[in-house]
Structure 1
């Protein structure tokens, strides 16, 4: 620890749970975009992030899956890998992984105690207290820079990019999966504005890989890359992906880029969007091969992609009845879910349970969902920012009334998500498919309930 004017006040945390409670206790400080506090915190800690190689991943959807592919392949290639993601599905420690395993509770406690005095002293300054996400990010940096020393850190943004806390780092490559209609209250009310925020992770001279498709978003990404003298590798231009075989829980594809063609590559995550996410990961690795002498044998690439898993996204958690969970909490996510249901999964009737947060674009999510369901169960996640089920049902009724000839489904309103899950299980017949979707807070609870995971926590 560097010498500085800050003294260490008393008040050590004595257990893992105390440490998590302390970090989560910073939630009331909210999301405050900007790098001032994290820069100060890093300065006080001796700027440990400067010792690490980061692969920085931003985007509206697909960040987690892309991180999972990158981590899995790098591990099979023999590298030590740190993976920092959010939110978590099962436990707070999920966010800080090293070689595929969560941070140990004792290590998290030790690092929290290392951070706490600096956080408390900063709270007294004009900068104000670091937020929960800032402290989590600082803890991740300490974990990788002072405890585990990975070869690469797969580093997922929290919100946006330009002002996101994770943007403190200088990566070896930047990745922007896609741009969509999410967090527009914070990132701007147009696709171009959101793209501008995501493009904020592009650094001078550092290559960038992206699967962005909207013309206005592509224009922003290309312009930013040019301004930063960063070489851009864009899906559809410098690299391409073509499906070869598609079935439930396995699909293969051909991957072509400016360097070479690889086929077949196989993944076990479902949906056309996962072929795109995998292609983004492969292109990222290909660029690192060229620029950073990364060594990944084709066998490691193939095995890493095939073994990559990402909980809560098109995950089949039960076979009798067949239940699929998917955290489709924005319009693009819902569109992707519906496309996968239509092309990958066979069923006679589709029964869907949904719980959302208040600040989401509910109408555009429902626009994709309503035409394909036979039963819709609206419920509420166990979270402070939940959308009330009766209000969500009212919107559903309004949309159904506007298109009575097109929308035919049974609507069930059940505020208690556990009761809603029971109803979904009861109504889903042998030839049917049950789906739980919406906020990841609901997905986390349902997943824990079905898989009997008593160690489950949930949240950011």
Structure 2
């Protein structure tokens, strides 16, 4: 029996020692012991290499503006562990977290007595989310974000009313595959018979695979720039403005405050999802709900300005595709700035390519590290870099202090980026 929140949290985190074990057998067994709570949820399932969190955020806010209560299951967290399971954007409370652990702990321990093996940390958290939204606190809609891939991801036991695949990029290749085709097959594993898919994948190979899989499962398929389109786009000082066409409606001058064209694509996915849910999912969504939901949507740790004077931005660009989007956004909004970068990432990322991309816009780059088992040491990242504008500082707090000292004029900007776990630590210095 866990009497305190900290005891419950320590028990969950202790599951990290079991690593990553893709597969659904353990999930199915535990859910059956708990009365299959996942079958009682009106779920939307979101996969993709990047943009899942932002897409979830946009859609949640649209649904909320229309008067719905919306649960979300996302990862990783930025501020508090509890935010992984949230209601209307608010993390569940410590008491609920402890209650959940006490409920599922006997089932998790019972699993260890079977030949299926031990439950991982992510499986435990996923089970908690299913039980919470299926039994303890039912919502009008619950949006589930995959943790890794799709086909064998712990969330893939859910039977959703709608699926979304944001994009396809090269990440977690040691598990998902080395090619676009292999990675797409894993993401496509969330497609269920007859359940619509909305996607913004761009690669020809990925589009072909998703088309094949949706045809096989007789699932409607809405693809960006085919079934729905972004018809205009404009960069604003405070974000982005765009218009779009869907099969059922047109939308003009939609505004978002999250910066970058990649965020326009994420927002368009949420709009297309909202249109579908209005017509087929029982959600009374009007155009004003879409407009208002997009404007108020904020996703911490994603191109987040944490200081105005001087300008300091943090962004969890944790893989090459994320760095590409970050560099594009910096060029769109801050082309006239001297951009000083602080960077740290995990050892399972393609750090060299990420560094080369950052150097296209960086006046200087400082490599650093943080307290995480898989984090690169600063000196190892520094060895991958070219040029005289680079340095290494193992202690991120010292790197941050020295980075601030470089901001001598209004032309100078500090960009802190890399692993979301790193950004989570750095953000604490500003809030």
TM range (shorter): over 0.9
Q: How does 1:254-333 map to 2 (within 5 A)?
A: 254-333=243-322
Structure 2 residue 408 is the aligned partner of structure 1 residue 429: yes
Deviations 1:318-347 (A, max 9, x none): 112210111111111111000000011254
Q: Distance in 2 between matches of 1:211 and 1:119?
A: 37
The Cα of 1:349 is off from its aligned counterpart by 0.9
Runs of 4+, deviation exceeding 6 Å = none
Tell me if structure 2 keeps the 8 A contact 1:60–1:179: yes
- TM norm structure 1: 0.92
Q: Distance in 2 between matches of 1:367 and 1:202?
A: 36
- TM norm structure 2: 0.98
Q: 1:411 aligns with which of 390, 405, 408?
A: 390
Structure 2 residue 417 is the aligned partner of structure 1 residue 447: no
Structure 2 residue 9 is the aligned partner of structure 1 residue 20: yes
Tell me if structure 1 keeps the 8 A contact 2:232–2:244: no
Indicate the larger mover: 287-296 or 34-43: 287-296
SS in 2 for 1:273: helix
Tell me if structure 2 keeps the 8 A contact 1:347–1:432: no
Deviations 1:337-361 (A, max 9, x none): 0000001125431100000101101
Tell me if structure 2 keeps the 8 A contact 1:248–1:270: no
Structure 2 residue 239 is the aligned partner of structure 1 residue 250: yes
SS in 2 for 1:450: coil
Tell me if structure 2 keeps the 8 A contact 1:312–1:443: yes
SS in 2 for 1:320: coil
The aligned residue for residue 143 of structure 2 is: 154
The Cα of 1:140 is off from its aligned counterpart by 0.7
SS in 1 for 2:356: helix
Structure 2 residue 224 is the aligned partner of structure 1 residue 235: yes
Tell me if structure 2 keeps the 8 A contact 1:381–1:439: no
The aligned residue for residue 386 of structure 1 is: 375
The aligned residue for residue 363 of structure 1 is: 352
Tell me if structure 2 keeps the 8 A contact 1:255–1:261: yes
SS in 2 for 1:374: strand
Tell me if structure 1 keeps the 8 A contact 2:28–2:157: yes
The Cα of 1:389 is off from its aligned counterpart by 1.1
The aligned residue for residue 180 of structure 2 is: 191
Structure 2 residue 100 is the aligned partner of structure 1 residue 111: yes
Tell me if structure 2 keeps the 8 A contact 1:374–1:409: no
Structure 2 residue 52 is the aligned partner of structure 1 residue 72: no
Deviations 1:436-459 (A, max 9, x none): 0100111011111122xxxxxxxx
Unaligned runs of 5+ residues in structure 1 are 1-11, 401-407, 452-460
Q: 1:345 aligns with which of 320, 325, 334?
A: 334
The Cα of 1:295 is off from its aligned counterpart by 1.2
The Cα of 1:370 is off from its aligned counterpart by 1.1
Tell me if structure 2 keeps the 8 A contact 1:347–1:433: no
SS in 2 for 1:437: strand
Structure 2 residue 82 is the aligned partner of structure 1 residue 93: yes
SS in 2 for 1:342: helix
The Cα of 1:366 is off from its aligned counterpart by 1.7
**How many residues get paired?**
430
Tell me if structure 2 keeps the 8 A contact 1:68–1:310: yes
The Cα of 1:242 is off from its aligned counterpart by 3.4
Q: Distance in 2 between matches of 1:355 and 1:122?
A: 37
Q: Distance in 2 between matches of 1:348 and 1:26?
A: 44
